[in-house]
Amino acid sequence: MQHNLYLYNSLTRQKEKFEAISSPFVGLYVCGPTVYSNVHLGNSRTFMTFDVLFRYLKYLGYKVRYVRNITDVGHITTEFDEGVDRIGAQAKLEMLEPMEVVQKYTVYFHWVMEMFNNLPPSIEPTATGHIIEQIEMVKKILDAGFAYEINGSVYFDVRAYLEKHKYGELSGRNVEELFENTRDLDGQDEKKFFADFALWKNASAEHIMRWPSPWGEGFPGWHLECSAMSTKYLGEVFDIHGGGMDLKFPHHESEVAQNTAACGHGPVRYWLHANMLTVNGQKMSKSLGNSFLPHELFSGDHPVLTKGYSPMVVRFFMMQAHYRSPLDFSNEAIQAAAKGYKRLMTAIALIDQLKPSATSGFDVKEFTEKCHSAMDDDLNTPILISHLFDGVRVINSCAEGKLPLTENDINLLSKVFHSFVFDIIGLRKETATEDQSQLVLSLMEFILKLRREAKENKDYAASDKIRNELAEMNIIIKDSKDGTDWKYETN
Ligand code: AMP
Ligand code: ZN
């Protein structure tokens, strides 16, 4: 495969030229969501990042098998396994069957993925659908001497592993350092060593999710599912494994250890980690209470949002940051993205109407190469977007008759824009409804501006008139020190 794609490999901490193990085939595994709650905007960022990678590899001509799992059992609430299973805990809380919890949040996840125009993966395996494979892997690790059984649970033996291999290579953490950061285990812990992690957990009498195993009834540990399912569908060594940065430890580190223990070598050639979406500099996370959900962003119905944004504006916003940089969410930043997205779409719609000239005042070939180089440089979407805006200026100048383009160049430009904007970064034109809701938002902004000006001019009759007429249409406006909010009340 002729290409020049470089990816930042977390394992070697450098950009490396991407070479597929069996070109043109590429195996890509990405950790999917734990479906015990709705995916938030932060999770969505990570899935968009790997969607762009999937799209770009396909664009380069690779045949990609993209596996993204659904974690529907085994994700424990704390780092060192003393907690409870998230799905089971949520089932109790909502008084639902665990599989109802799984179904409910999987449906939302799929809806969000579609709204953001993420392509579906080739395989979407569930942890509960691969219990047999996971049990087989535990047996292999036990046979190799890197795990021990106690009270119907099986733990990975980190100290035994450390005698032959490194644990911490991927995340850069070492066990001593970890120990200092960990509170003392109370005497009740059955593990031999604090960093040991569960491969299989014995199910207590009240535990709902349980399966028979050689060690009694229980359920698999969280890290195990990704090792078992990636091996099953992509082989013992595969090309790329992705996930959010926060999964490096303990999740991915433990995956490496499990695979190495079971097969004698690490599983992955390129480890890719996506950086976090933050709010006021803090990671967006459900437990910190600063997360909001994609549908709240689309409707604007959330206290921190001044209005709603279409899914494509949100996607464009995400693409303006490099995936390895943190991205801070703010109303201002997303408003700027809305303008940028609109400018881009307007220019693309203009391309087909451009009038060709006999000569060209712009080198489209060089422009195309620049776009490729940006993506080849570890998927640098912000640089790509800055090039695309150079192209937007060219399109607009040509439309105004200020810059000539040949017919051939116009066709080429159209092709490049379609490839990079629609196929690679995965934007799409907004639907008529989305377009109209954006129009409503802009009109409301305009009306509220008129009212603000009326008030500033002490023309209270006019400002009250605007408020009352809007109320007639069930649009309720509310003034606060931060500005004016409005709401359309449907009942
Ligand atoms: P989880 O369902 O918690 O396993 O998370 C699903 C994916 O979202 C993982 O790859 C996480 O690393 C990622 N993730 C979680 N929080 C954020 C965030 N604030 N920004 C970006 N990605 C995140
Ligand atoms: Zn995983």
Q: Which one of the ligands is nearest to 255 CA? A: 2
Task: Lowest mean pLDDT of 346-355, 393-402, 437-446, 449-458, name the range.
Answer: 437-446
Sign of the alpha-carbon dihedral angle for 276, 277, 280, 285: negative
Q: How far is the CA of 279 from the centre of ligand 2 (A)?
A: 25
Q: How confident is the model at residue 180 (pLDDT cuts 50, 70, 90)?
A: low
For residue 34 and ligand 1, the question of a CB distance below 6 A is answered with yes
Q: Is the pLDDT of residue 482 over 80?
A: no
pTM of the prediction?
0.89
Taking the C-alpha atoms of residue 186 and residue 110, their distance in angstroms, rounded to an integer, is: 41
Contacts of 364 (CB under 8 A, 6+ apart): 405, 409, 412, 413, 416
Instruction: Write down the mean pLDDT value for the chain.
Output: 93
Per the structure block, which two tokens stand in for 108?
């939302």
Q: What is the pLDDT of residue 444?
A: 87
- Judged by DSSP in three states, 476 sits in strand
Task: Lowest mean pLDDT of 98-107, 305-314, 369-378, 401-410, name the range.
Answer: 305-314
Atom of ligand 1 nearest to the CA of 247: 12
pLDDT in tens, 251-264: 999 999 999 999 99
Q: Check if the beta carbon of residue 308 is closer than 8 Å to that of residue 56.
A: no
Q: Which of 36, 46, 105, 329 is the best mutation target for the ligand 1 pocket, counting ligand atoms within 8 Å of the beta carbon and taking the most?
A: 46
Share of the chain above pLDDT 90, in %: 80
Average pLDDT over residues 19-37: 97
Average pLDDT over residues 212-220: 97
Q: Check if the beta carbon of residue 282 is closer than 8 Å to that of residue 290.
A: yes
Contacts of 163 (CB under 8 A, 6+ apart): none
* CA distance between the termini of the chain: 59
Domain limits of the chain? 6-274, 300-424, 437-488
- Relative to beta strand 14-17, strand 198-202 is unpaired
Average pLDDT over residues 123-152: 98
Taking the C-alpha atoms of residue 222 and residue 61, their distance in angstroms, rounded to an integer, is: 34
Q: How confident is the model at residue 78 (pLDDT cuts 50, 70, 90)?
A: low
Taking the C-alpha atoms of residue 274 and residue 318, their distance in angstroms, rounded to an integer, is: 12
Q: Is the pLDDT of residue 268 over 80?
A: yes
Task: Lowest mean pLDDT of 76-90, 225-239, 344-358, 468-482, name the range.
Answer: 76-90
Q: What is the pLDDT of residue 436?
A: 78
Q: How far is the CA of 233 from the centre of ligand 2 (A)?
A: 14
pLDDT in tens, 148-163: 999 999 999 999 999 9
- Relative to beta strand 327-329, strand 277-279 is parallel
CATH number for 6-274 (one of 3.30.70.270, 3.40.50.1820, 3.40.50.620, 3.40.50.300): it is 3.40.50.620
pLDDT in tens, 113-122: 999 999 999 9
Which residues are placed with Cβ below 5 angstroms of ligand 2, an ion?
31, 226
Amino acid 481 reads K
Q: What is the pLDDT of residue 122?
A: 98
Angle between helices 253-263 and 131-143 (to 10 degrees): 70
Average pLDDT over residues 475-489: 83
Q: How confident is the model at residue 79 (pLDDT cuts 50, 70, 90)?
A: low
Average pLDDT over residues 225-233: 98
pLDDT in tens, 360-408: 999 999 999 999 999 999 999 999 999 999 999 999 999 999 999 999 9
Q: Is the pLDDT of residue 325 over 60?
A: yes
**How many residues are recorded in the chain?**
491
Q: Is the pLDDT of residue 196 over 90?
A: yes
Q: How confident is the model at residue 303 (pLDDT cuts 50, 70, 90)?
A: confident
Q: How confident is the model at residue 82 (pLDDT cuts 50, 70, 90)?
A: low
For residue 42 and ligand 1, the question of a CB distance below 6 A is answered with yes
Q: Check if the beta carbon of residue 149 is closer than 8 Å to that of residue 142.
A: yes
* Phi and psi based region of residue 48 (left: phi greater than 0; alpha: psi -120 to 50; beta: remaining): alpha
Average pLDDT over residues 139-151: 98
- Relative to beta strand 147-150, strand 153-156 is antiparallel
Q: Which residue, among 168, 192, 180, 187, has the nearest Cα to 10 in the 3D structure?
A: 168
The per-type count for the chain, helices as H runs and strands as E runs, is: 16, 15
Question: Rounded to 10 degrees, what is the CA torsion of 184, 188, 189, 194?
Answer: 10
Q: Is the pLDDT of residue 187 over 60?
A: no
